Structure 1
């Protein structure tokens, strides 16, 4: 069954859910949300980030691991009323004084006999005798049958209780809203910047009968491998087992080039006159340098980060390497400063940029070209 709604990136889904949360808090819209998407595209990360932003308790309820009676709770006999009553399950939020996010994960993989118990949660915000407080925000998530995941078709009675978002991987969104804020390894960010088609390859892998595909989740794992494993031979095996042998081989070539030519720390510590010789000579290397600089940006490093970022723009004048003359240095510098400024604003470093002569010279040059 096709999910006939708009396709959004993970970042867009997060912005929609933020607005939905604000509307619910204002009493204007109380509903439940459904994130559809292939495995690993970032649905769970969106929910976790939303809960963290709202300072909410996250109740992660995996529907494939429970039975319908688990939602209703444990029965006991009340001798005074002569009725069977139910203890509230620990999986359901019950604090009216603290915001909570109830995450119904793997909804489409839950067996159909569980759906009636979920109906009440999604629509009436209750299951059996247990009501959810008004400050509980409900998000469900799941994969589709065509994604190659274990899933059941969603019936109309369940579908009608939800606002649906179809989440697809977007390289630019993932780099800006996940890779940079989470300080993923610069080689991963640089590789996806130049090969955005390899961020998510689930459909292609299914068509070719391959078990391993690339997803945003698997690239996060690649980043952890790169940061944790020094032995190149062992790292190669781990990478192949995470993103497939062919993609791993291509990525390793880029990672080797970056490892040999990029040292963010050396550039930041070098004297200005020595810096031009330390810049990497490949596009992959420059991309990795930019992501490394953005990751290194902080109150103590803002000045050298801005210096090094601005120096990218003039490499064709400072160095005699013919390769730099063919590179889009101005565009690389602009891209780097855009990311750095966003990161800087989050850290309260706006004045560091505005007061820095190298950034002012860069801004004046762009204004002269009519780009600002």
Structure 2
């Protein structure tokens, strides 16, 4: 197994998405120019819960340009269900194929907007039953379904788990998948996605994952981060930790009734990330070492802020934006925006650079926190940071 793992070309999710985006844009140019093209069919393989579906959605942007189908949840053949039909005039029997409603909607939109790429994303593509296997292969290899061809500007992407565990050192991980034959594997472009903690943390900073989560994970070493973000269950019916489960844990932490009740909190944490990660996280929460966003906003303390680790500064910058925005929208403002701006003058260039990248450069600050964005941009100190970011990106 170790030898097999060395033979895989592991890449990050961001690298995979860039490859798909650049290749799709090029293929669309060829299609619009009327030149024959052999579209590539990419299949993303990774551990569960690393963000493949979310990443594809963000790459596409417009929800009308993507259709996500969870093959594992579909009944056999239901992507294009055969329906018997008798022509009344000729009394001839025919078999028509009723297209899945979501795919039909994508197809119709792609026909109306032929210059824009559209995506059919088949999640868990190799977990469908045997009746669906042929349908999936036809989609991946020929860009069509029984009785229904897809427009040239619809690109099919697959995602799933490998038949063997090549992503971690766990000895036994049973992946109940339909293995691809040699001919099929030769016609797809497999991309093997390795979990990269920095990429997940940058995503978490930009998507309001709970400050306790990003602080707890962000303050660890690289190897510790990987072990925390993905820790498989040690039993068939147990709970493990994945990037997805850490993200979902935020909803529990946002509920004071759960967060302030030790029994409920323990149950919630264990249900999301399992016993091992859960014990570590609960220790962090209950030892008084957790990051208090509101304490730093209500009683500014530059010395205390300066003493924070880079990960903690980043957790503060990303998690404080929501209360800062809410304060600016309220009639009785408490000055959170000015305090936040003062903290941005830290000498920790790594924390500043990651804040500017995840919140400003990506447009998150302008889109989600418009009042905060306007306030900060009125200050020359912040605009200096923006200018430095632009210079560094040249």
- What is the TM-score with the length of structure 1 in the denominator? 0.76
Shift of 1:36: 0.5
Please list the CA deviations of residues 283-315 of structure 1 after superposition, one character each: whole Å capped at 9, or x if unmatched. Answer: 4754532442466676957654231132xx4xx
Cα distance change on mapping 1:84 and 1:189 into 2, 3 Å = same
Give unpaired runs (5+ residues) of structure 1. Answer: 314-329, 365-372
Q: Distance in 1 between matches of 2:148 and 2:75?
A: 17
Cα distance change on mapping 1:75 and 1:335 into 2, 3 Å = farther
Please list the CA deviations of residues 9-30 of structure 1 after superposition, one character each: whole Å capped at 9, or x if unmatched. Answer: 2222222222233223222662
Shift of 1:33: 1.5
Does the aligned pair in 2 maintain the 1:10–1:169 contact within 8 Å?
Answer: yes
Shift of 1:52: 2.9
Please list the CA deviations of residues 7-66 of structure 1 after superposition, one character each: whole Å capped at 9, or x if unmatched. Answer: 122222222222233223222662322011111121222233234357514242425532
Q: Distance in 2 between matches of 1:105 and 1:361?
A: 40
Does the aligned pair in 2 maintain the 1:200–1:213 contact within 8 Å?
Answer: no
Please list the CA deviations of residues 177-223 of structure 1 after superposition, one character each: whole Å capped at 9, or x if unmatched. Answer: x2022110111111221234344569864678893322111111222
Shift of 1:130: 0.8
- The equivalent position to 2:193 in structure 1, one of 167, 173, 188, is 167
Equivalence map 1:25-44=2 (5 Å): 25-26=28-29, 27=31, 30-44=39-53
Equivalence map 1:210-221=2 (5 Å): 211-221=238-248
Match of residue 181 from structure 2: 155
Equivalence map 1:129-140=2 (5 Å): 129-140=147-158
Does the aligned pair in 2 maintain the 1:218–1:242 contact within 8 Å?
Answer: yes
Match of residue 23 from structure 1: 26
- The equivalent position to 2:17 in structure 1, one of 14, 17, 24, is 14
Q: Distance in 1 between matches of 2:76 and 2:238?
A: 30
- The equivalent position to 1:309 in structure 2, one of 344, 349, 353, is 344
- The count of aligned residue pairs is 341
Does the aligned pair in 1 maintain the 2:57–2:66 contact within 8 Å?
Answer: no
Q: Distance in 1 between matches of 2:143 and 2:214?
A: 41
Q: Distance in 2 between matches of 1:16 and 1:117?
A: 26
Please state whether the residue corresponding to 1:180 is helix, strand or coil. helix
Equivalence map 1:183-222=2 (5 Å): 183-195=208-220, 196=222, 197-199=224-226, 205=232, 211-222=238-249
Please list the CA deviations of residues 291-340 of structure 1 after superposition, one character each: whole Å capped at 9, or x if unmatched. Answer: 42466676957654231132xx4xxxxxxxxxxxxxxxx4xx22221122
Q: Distance in 2 between matches of 1:361 and 1:69?
A: 53
Match of residue 380 from structure 2: 356
- What is the TM-score with the length of structure 2 in the denominator? 0.72
Cα distance change on mapping 1:207 and 1:249 into 2, 3 Å = closer
RMSD of the TM alignment (CA)?
3.8
Shift of 1:72: 4.4
- The equivalent position to 1:101 in structure 2, one of 92, 109, 119, is 119
Shift of 1:344: 2.0
Cα distance change on mapping 1:119 and 1:186 into 2, 3 Å = same
Does the aligned pair in 1 maintain the 2:248–2:272 contact within 8 Å?
Answer: yes
Shift of 1:114: 3.0
Q: Distance in 2 between matches of 1:202 and 1:334?
A: 26
Equivalence map 1:283-322=2 (5 Å): 283=309, 286=313, 288-293=315-320, 303-310=338-345, 313=346
Equivalence map 1:42-57=2 (5 Å): 42-53=51-62, 55-57=64-66
